[in-house]
Chains A and B, each alone.
Chain A
Amino acid sequence: MTETVTARRDTEVPRTSTPTPPRRRRRFTWGTGGLYVALVAIGIFCLAPFYWMVVSSLKGPADIFDNSLVPLEPTLENYAAVFGAQNTFALALRNSVIIAGSVTVIALVFGIFASYAIARLQFRGKNLVLGLFLATSMFPGVAILTPLFQLFADLGWIDTFQAMIIPDVSFSLPLGVWILTSFFRAMPWELEAAARVDGCTRGQAFRKIILPLAVPGVFTTAILVFISAWNEFMIANSMSLTSASQPVTVAIAQFSGISQYDKPYGTQMAAGVLVTIPLIILVLIFQRRIISGLTAGGVK
């Protein structure tokens, strides 16, 4: 199979020498009908449970369990309860933004550095590094919880942002490095080499030529890291004590109903909706970047 592909690629015009016309997407080959069926199926698969979540969030306590597909008496009281006195949700949202944002930036920077080194540079210990990245993803999270709590408690870092940011970065790095490495490997490095021959430093060549082409990989990693840091619970639950540092996942877990035994299902669903919407908006804004391909126009 590989041979077939390679053979074909030898016959094609090298990308670098011809400016290709604006990308034409592949035409519908399954027939438009097939595509729309697939679209509907995907839509239902992904959104039906979310729809149920939204519907549940709009139902008051009386009819929350009545299984009606449309709320009989829609009410916003769950949303009010989310922001109510007992639940400091707005603060939690702020904390989540700070934590997830920092984690994304740091993990991207570290990850890009490391992936560049692995993909591009020659050094002994590559296997060791990649193996280390992979192995750290093999431990059940709880295994590191208590010693880490102890360490941070000694440092006086409980109830601070860094106590959550640093572990989250380490959870995201392995996947990020692997994704970015496989992207960087697929880059046309001859461009970089050519740029350096022309006098650019490594850094400039990287920034100006390689990085723009790696945008899909970088943004995919960014979105995955952001979402995973946004939704992280176990570490945040242990490391944050007060609403000053608690992110939304912990805040939601602390929602309470009227009694200790009442699970505030409606409020939790409302909070879930509130917490998911920003992520969806983020994805909508950046989804172009995820899919912008290797347009040959990026070549000098």
Chain B
Amino acid sequence: MAISLGTARTRRRRPRESRERDGRLAFWLVIPSVIVLTVVIAFPVISSVVRSFFGDGIGDVPFVGFQNYADALWGYGAQEFWAATGITYLFAGVTIVLETLIGLGMALVANRAFRGRGLLRASVLVPWAIPTAVAAVLWKWAFDPQGIINAITGSTVVWTGSAVPSIIAIIIADTWKTAPFVALLILAGLQIIPDDVYEAAKIDGASAWKRFWYITLPLVRPALLVAVLFRLLDALRMYDLPEIMTNGANGTATLSVLVVQSTLSQLKPGYGGALSTLTFALIFVTAYLFVRLLGVNAVDQASSGKGAGR
């Protein structure tokens, strides 16, 4: 996306000392966050990765190199690992698409002026505000063979007792819970779009659909992509819903469920660390492809701080 300048100001080359002052200031501004992240996340992750090169057991554990990774990728854990990978990506793909569409719709509506829009905005946030564990228990009971879903629809499907229905149930629960998150981020992005743009377009005779497609979407794209990107990261780490609704049964065990099983339940930090690192690698590659393909405007190479005219 090119940076076009709203006014005809040329970019001045900054003097070197100003750049250094910038650099120093930037350093001090950024460093608190960096320290927190390093201590809380980088350090435990590194220790977990290091641990993954050792075996599991009681007492002294041998150094096994990449054996844990081999076990997960093509050894005895392979079937479980790849099944979990498949279901994780299935959940992520379907829920992200649904949540983006629903979230976009909710944001567009919430953006409009009408009486009671404050209430609408608050209600939109309700699903996101409910603690995940409570929501998971709510949906679990709703999908019980004798629960409200079967009562209302008249079906007798044992939702959490077989493969496809449990997948559907989890997707429904997750979409309901998280569409507001996407909606809120898109709404924030919609706020930046000034009315004048729409006015000008209307004066030029553009229809509602054209305005949406050619103005709204491109201008909300940065916010939309950030929302989807972070949803992607969260979705690929989905844990609570499969764990509470089905205990990971019926093929709904996601990668995070496997990691928790190995690390906490079976006390195998070596294998669990390998699974966790592999999960990270998968997420990293996915996020990288996402950023690359969709051109999320992460860091402006040519940024001179003027972002007003995108």
Contact = CB atoms under 8 A, between A and B. Distances in A.
Question: Do the two chains belong together in a single complex?
Answer: yes
Interface of A: 1-2, 4-6, 8-15, 20, 23-26, 28-30, 35, 38-39, 42-43, 45-47, 49-50, 52-53, 56, 65, 67, 110-111, 113-114, 116-124, 126-127, 129-130, 132-148, 151, 166-167, 169-170, 173-175, 177-179, 182-190, 202, 216-217, 220, 223-224, 227, 230-231, 233, 248-249, 252-253, 263, 265, 268-269, 271-272, 275-276, 279-280, 283-284, 287-288, 290-294
Given A42-B120, A287-B122, A2 B218 contact: yes
B257 to A, nearest CB: 10
Interface string B177-208: 00111001101110110111110110000001
A39 B109 contact: yes
A49 B22 contact: no
B27 A123 contact: yes
Contact of B126 (A50, A124, A129): A50
B100 interface: no
Given A46-B123, A122-B22, A146-B269, A2 B1 contact: yes
Contacts, number: 366
Interface centre among B37, B180, B191, B299 (most CB of A within 10 A): B37
Interface in B228-261: 229-230, 233-234, 237, 239-240, 255-256, 259-260
Nearest to A11: B200
B283 A65 contact: no
A67 B36 contact: no
Q: Which applies to chain A's interface (DSSP): helix, strand, loop or mixed?
A: helix
A49 B197 contact: no
Contacts of B214: 1, 4-5
Interface in B1-26: 1-2, 4, 6-7, 9, 14, 19, 22-23, 25-26
Interface stretch (B55-63, B70-78, B110-118, B160-168): B110-118
Nearest to B222: A182
B33 A67 contact: no
A158 to B, nearest CB: 15
A38 B105 contact: yes
Interface centre among A20, A47, A187, A276 (most CB of B within 10 A): A276
Given A117-B25, A143-B45, A173 B33 contact: yes
Contact of B43 (A43, A140, A147): A147
A177 B284 CA distance: 18
B308 to A, nearest CB: 5
Contacts of B200: 8, 11-12
